[in-house]
Amino acid sequence: MDEPVVPPPWLGERELFENLGWAGAVQAVGEALAAGLDPAQVPARQAVPVAAGELLLMPAEWGGSAGVKVAGVAPGNPERGLPRIQGTYLLLDAATLTLRALVDGTALTTLRTPAVSAWAAAVLARPDAARLVVFGSGPQAWGHVHALRAVRPLTDVGVCGRDPGRRDALVARLREEGVAARPVGAEAVGEADVVACCTSSRTPVLDGALVRDGSCVVAVGSHHPAARELDGALLARSTVVVEDRDTALREAGDVVLAVQEGLLDPAALVGVAELARDRAQLQPWGAGPRVFKGSGMAWEDLVVATAAHHAAAGADGGGSADPPGAGRAKVGP
């Protein structure tokens, strides 16, 4: 008799957020970079326009695992009460390409994008950073609050959003989760230690002149070369860190447009792999802001999905069952 076919495990929101958690995801990103993962070697994202938005195909291989995320980006979804980004992740064994697990790609994106930002902020933000301003009111804004709280002692969180109802709903949710959150205007960046831009805006959401020297800004809202959340003047006076130079110069509008305006030298961009090896290239505290621009890359899904799979199986290196925001990631100064 043939052996029964055992379906691969499903890793959903609970397995990702409870078994691994924010600190575990940040740590997985840092460990991969420290072990030599080079984002420049990861295949470029494939994007196909469709009526509702675009379909994305994101494959990667690293450390004994391979995988691919199939995702859809539908800009009109938030008005329907649906996530803007949805998808499914296939986690494979690299040696045999046998399916190890199916992963909720929507939850994975909500976890891994803030985790990468938080890893960068653990290097770029002051160790005592306490005040955060987040732009946006969707899953990425929520996720960035909790991921950044995993690496910095944030005690004051301001939420700035175009839709007052959605902004206030996020504030209420964060308060229920134990976060000291409040609605703020865009001018609040002038007092922030950390700023997180998590919007779908195609034009700058803040006045870069208001951002203080010594503060840290992360922007993750777009992977299109004509869309930006940050103005060129801010990047001109900042240390600018990206996942990978070529990817940023191809996809990150914040970077692409600043270069086109003559305000940013492409050679000055710092990749996360370089940052993981050597932090001496960072300008001194207070010499200017420090910016991380993320576009989202396939290696990020792979390392977080692999860590979640290990955590779900009870293997070494898994996270904890802490509630959102609990714990501090062991990365950065």
Domain containing 176 equals 113-293
Q: Do 124 and 70 share a domain, yes or no?
A: no
Q: Do 89 and 132 share a structural domain?
A: no
Query: Does the pLDDT at position 210 exceed 50?
Result: yes
Report d(CA 197, CA 204) in Å as an integer.
Answer: 10
pLDDT for residue 137 is more than 60: yes
pTM for the whole thing?
0.90
Q: What is the CA radius of gyration of the chain?
A: 19
168 and 250 together in one domain: yes
Is pLDDT of 223 > 60? yes
Note the pLDDT tens digit of each residue in 50-64: 999 999 999 999 999
Kindly give, in sequence order, each residue whose CB lies less than 8 Å from that of residue 90, ignoring residues fewer than 6 positions away: 67, 68, 69, 70, 99, 102, 103
Q: Is the domain of 46 the same as that of 154?
A: no
* Pair (29, 74) in one structural domain: yes
| pLDDT computed for residue 325 by the predictor | 35
Helices (H), 68-126: 105-124
Beta carbons of 306 and 63 less than 8 angstroms apart: yes
The contacts of residue 77 (CB under 8 Å, 6+ apart) are: 83, 84, 86
Cα separation, 259 vs 243, in Å, equals 17
Given a cut of 50, whether residue 138 has pLDDT beyond it is yes
Report CA 259 to chain centroid distance, whole Å.
23
Rounded to whole angstroms, how far apart are CA atoms 141 and 133? 10
Domain contains 3: no
Q: Tell me whether residue 326 is in a domain.
A: no
Give yes or no: residues 142 and 77 share one domain: no
In a domain, 332, yes or no: no
For residue 319, is it within any domain?
Answer: no
Residue 331 within a domain:
no
Same domain for 182 and 148: yes
Q: What value does the mean pLDDT take over residues 235-264?
A: 97
Supply the pLDDT for residue 4: 65
In a domain, 143, yes or no: yes
